[in-house]
Structure 1
């Protein structure tokens, strides 16, 4: 066909075969256009056929893309650049044939980033990908990311972010440079700015705001509880919970916990660490957008993240906003890791932020020279205890579990030097809370090497105990309030409406059987 190189005519044959299977024998590929190495096919529909809907077109595009990519991987490389042409300094470019609808990513080729002079990392950077249409399969997401990063990615998660979009996390195991994804991001963003009207995935490595890591409802399974993890100050949301093993990409909230407590939705919350105190502490507006639909919530708070959760719940308890009140009503438990309830012992941190805008916040969180907590922390402790008592009176007592470090930490000073060993957070007794020790320092408390890690086993078994208690509470309430077979909504009570179905791939969803039938 015109515009298709002879050695690439296999694309046309493959597209024609899929069109026949999808639309019938009377449909055909009647024309193609090739521009700058991409291919566009025109499909002639049978006269008796109605025009395809947008969803049907998108489904057909996905099938053609995947099949053409399979062929592209098996074909010999295209002819080399003629000797008369100047040699290219650009990296090898991976190109996917564009069929029926335009590709969601830019294929602009630019020079590679300058080499970094920073010390090499021991673990690969993980990227977050948002703005993925809900109907995209994992294989198609992989192709799009590969096209953008010029390296085959490993997709670790693909979870609904909203009713229309998915969110993914990925690494690049074939690249030796662990910082490659971060370096490549600037290239991708530059290419996107050159074509501002083009639809595109959104890539980042910051993990600010919410990142869904697991959702059992996406596989049509029951979801009993939402688990929301909030990190501390000056930490990376994703990196905080990653395995410390060199070269590892595993992160227990994403890779371990869904296997051990599958009937969950797990979200990660991150925020910039350089904002002032008011912006850092009061995150209830963000948390209120969780869309739990009355599903119970277990919060995980790491260091300052636990204080953020406590502040959010205090505000939600008496908020005029119905969404915020719903968060308080749905709250079932808090699992804290080194929450500085009685103050943070870290003189190096106070010195490091003395000229930064969040210095007031840090002084409120740290112990003073005499080892005394600030008035802010004292009042927060009292207020949160009252908050728990208030919830107990109107519903049931929330479960509070605090893990405390047993090993000393060595925080770094402002100029990077290692400071003296300190136990950054001491145990703080709280009425109604369970206190458990972990044989780790302040940072290692939430970093686990594998599912068989003894620290992780202690943690997940206790979280699972909370989940089992939620099930028992729901069964008890059902027995008390529903003697007949009528379903009870139970607004404001644990369990609520029960598990929601969650966003499902409709219309353009390609099942495994359907993909096998179309592609093989």
Structure 2
């Protein structure tokens, strides 16, 4: 089982890696196996660290590990720093060189009951988080971020899809990025009345969908656990199973599609249904089924807008790449590099047009 990863926020800009390590360990007999330090996404003049401990987390984080506490706060020379494992909100995954130009923002958003960091980790020997480990090498000038939201099934939340979309947009206006279809639709609806949302919509260039159930998800196995879920969470699950709201949102998004480049990945392997085991817990030990079929995962748009990519994996493992040699990873990195090159050429063309206008004006 991969080691837990923690996020440390609110770190002062003056703090070095050694300073952060010293304050996090607090003299305990543990080590930091890995630490990545990045700027805060929110422009608040702080740093964020993504940390793995060895052999386990310090004792003061036991309640965070168990889930009885969401986070812990410790003091760092008068600054309060926060430690959590939920990764709610935006988190930048790797640092871009100080003198490098950010060529694009990439935001990765998980679906229902997903974890902002863990959902993207492979299941190989090194549990690679490819958005961090691979993109830092292959897309070093892109600001790659993850977005976390509380969509866990077993809690007392009353969120619905529209609430998640609005929450995402409000966070997004603080970091200026976009990738989620429902939120792009909402940004379009807010155009004219909300300048920040309008700006987000206009700056969106491409989106990648991994097994996204545009026309509904088979949720009967999830609904078999209704005795453990609050009524509001049951309603949330049912809302992604299909129906008029999902159909209307799909139609709204398709109306925006001509202005985007879309990658649609879809699973080619069946996964196992959730089933109660001998201990009374639910795990994927049931019969094989296909939760998101090809007809639901694809938008069926023209090839110049949508690129359809089959993946030799089930729904759970669709975004869990162990190595750069994974065929699906090769597909997405080649497409993203192609998009970035198109953006670069477009920027050059715009710069040339501005230069010519300036020359004519001076003449």
Residue 339 of structure 2 is matched in structure 1 by 466
Deviations, residues 381-420 of structure 1 (Å, cap 9, x unaligned): 110011234xxxxxxx211111111111113236415222
Deviations, residues 152-173 of structure 1 (Å, cap 9, x unaligned): 2134321110341011101123
2-side partners of 1:195 and 1:401: how far apart? 44
Q: Secondary structure at the match of 1:183?
A: helix
CA separation of 1:445 and 1:178: change in aligned 2, threshold 3 A: farther
Matched, 1:279 2:163: yes
Residue 493 of structure 1 is matched in structure 2 by none
* C-alpha contact 1:157 1:254 (8 A) present in aligned 2: no
CA separation of 1:358 and 1:135: change in aligned 2, threshold 3 A: same
Task: Specify which of 123, 126, 132 is matched with residue 254 of structure 1.
Answer: 132
Matched, 1:483 2:350: no
Residue 288 of structure 1 is matched in structure 2 by 172
Deviates more, 1:260-269 or 1:462-471: 462-471
2-side partners of 1:148 and 1:322: how far apart? 49
Distance apart, 1:244 and its partner CA? 0.7
* C-alpha contact 1:284 1:315 (8 A) present in aligned 2: no
CA separation of 1:454 and 1:196: change in aligned 2, threshold 3 A: closer
CA separation of 1:220 and 1:231: change in aligned 2, threshold 3 A: same
Matched, 1:311 2:192: no
2-side partners of 1:191 and 1:268: how far apart? 18
Residue 249 of structure 2 is matched in structure 1 by 380
Distance apart, 1:204 and its partner CA? 0.5
CA separation of 1:378 and 1:136: change in aligned 2, threshold 3 A: same
2-side partners of 1:244 and 1:458: how far apart? 19
Q: How many residues align?
A: 334
Larger Rg: 1
Residue 263 of structure 2 is matched in structure 1 by 401
Deviations, residues 260-315 of structure 1 (Å, cap 9, x unaligned): 011110110011114321433433433433433xxxx562xxxxxxxxx1121111
2-side partners of 1:401 and 1:195: how far apart? 44
* C-alpha contact 1:408 1:441 (8 A) present in aligned 2: yes
CA separation of 1:311 and 1:409: change in aligned 2, threshold 3 A: same
Q: TM-score of the superposition, structure 2-length normalised?
A: 0.83
Residue 270 of structure 1 is matched in structure 2 by 148
Aligned ranges for residues 46-445 of structure 1 at < 5 Å?
Answer: 122-147=1-26, 150-161=29-40, 162-173=43-54, 175=55, 177=56, 183=62, 185=64, 199-216=79-96, 218-246=97-125, 248-274=126-152, 275=157, 276-277=159-160, 278-292=162-176, 297=177, 299=179, 309-319=180-190, 320-353=193-226, 355-356=229-230, 357-366=232-241, 373-389=242-258, 397-413=259-275, 415-417=281-283, 418-427=285-294, 428-431=298-301, 432-445=305-318
2-side partners of 1:287 and 1:192: how far apart? 22
2-side partners of 1:387 and 1:351: how far apart? 36
Distance apart, 1:198 and its partner CA? 5.4
2-side partners of 1:268 and 1:190: how far apart? 18
* C-alpha contact 1:284 1:313 (8 A) present in aligned 2: no
| Structure with higher strand content | 2
* C-alpha contact 1:214 1:264 (8 A) present in aligned 2: no
Q: Secondary structure at the match of 2:198?
A: helix
2-side partners of 1:258 and 1:323: how far apart? 28
CA RMSD of aligned residues (A): 2.9
2-side partners of 1:322 and 1:314: how far apart? 15
Residue 46 of structure 1 is matched in structure 2 by none
* C-alpha contact 2:104 2:143 (8 A) present in aligned 1: yes
CA separation of 1:228 and 1:191: change in aligned 2, threshold 3 A: closer
* C-alpha contact 1:405 1:442 (8 A) present in aligned 2: yes
* C-alpha contact 1:124 1:171 (8 A) present in aligned 2: yes
* C-alpha contact 1:284 1:324 (8 A) present in aligned 2: no
